[in-house]
Amino acid sequence: MNNAAPAPARTRGRPRGNPPTREAIVSAARALFLERGYRRTTVRAVAAVADVDPALIAYHFGSKKGLFAEVMQFQCANALAVDDVLGGDPATLPDRLIDAVTDLWEDADFVQLTARGDEAAEVIREYLERELLARLVEFLGGRDATARATAVVTILGGLIYTRYLNPLPTPAALTPSQTRHILTPALLAALSPRPRTATATGAGRRSSPAAG
């Protein structure tokens, strides 16, 4: 007679105790997305690799699309590590920004993930807006920080679009070093504080008392 107690059933819904981390689930999903592609990767397959109940994935990520977005965000964060990019010499910030973008987009795993198309592009847009743009505004500071950060992200977005998403022959043919050489002056200009406009200066003069 077998008196061994049955193995406890895996609980569903909100995790209790010490559940597997989000990072473990993302790691399993990333491996499967790379191996099988988006369409052939199922939530159940990810759950099996991560050794969790599928409901736990639904709880954390909502859906396969949400899980894929998390994987893409993880890839972006690894390459476009904002703290590292912003933490060096301000004079070479344009170089670090361009290198981060080209390193990310020329990584074989990332290229394979971006083959998903619309979902990948949506995640990249969100990352540029919520992470890079917001952090740049905070980093630059001052009255024109949002305008300067917007100019920087616009240049980098143009680089991504014309070199990778919908490549034009000329930008796509450049090496990363050539890309850096061409775009660094534009990024330096974008990062520079804006002079006060003539209108604002004139208004200030009109508000001053007339000279006697």
Which whole number is the average pLDDT over 94-119?
Answer: 82
175/30 Cα distance (integer angstroms): 28
Q: What is the DSSP letter of 4?
A: P
**Residues 56-90 pLDDT 10s:** 898 888 888 889 888 888 777 776 677 788 888 88
pLDDT band at 53 (very low <50, low <70, confident <90, very high): confident
pLDDT of res. 131: 80
Distance of CA 206 to CAs 60, 167, 195, Å? 59, 50, 19
Q: What is the DSSP letter of 90?
A: G
pTM: 0.68
190 versus 36: the higher-pLDDT residue is: 190
Question: Secondary structure of the chain: what % helix, strand, coil (to 5)?
Answer: 70, 0, 30
pLDDT of res. 198: 53
198/140 Cα distance (integer angstroms): 23
**Residues 108-137 pLDDT 10s:** 888 777 776 676 777 778 888 888 898 899
pLDDT of res. 6: 45
Q: Say whether 16 sits in a helix, a strand or coil.
A: coil
**Residues 8-52 pLDDT 10s:** 343 333 344 344 568 889 989 989 988 888 888 899 999 999 988
Instruction: Identify whether the C-beta of residue 148 lies closer than 8 Å to the C-beta of residue 141.
Output: no
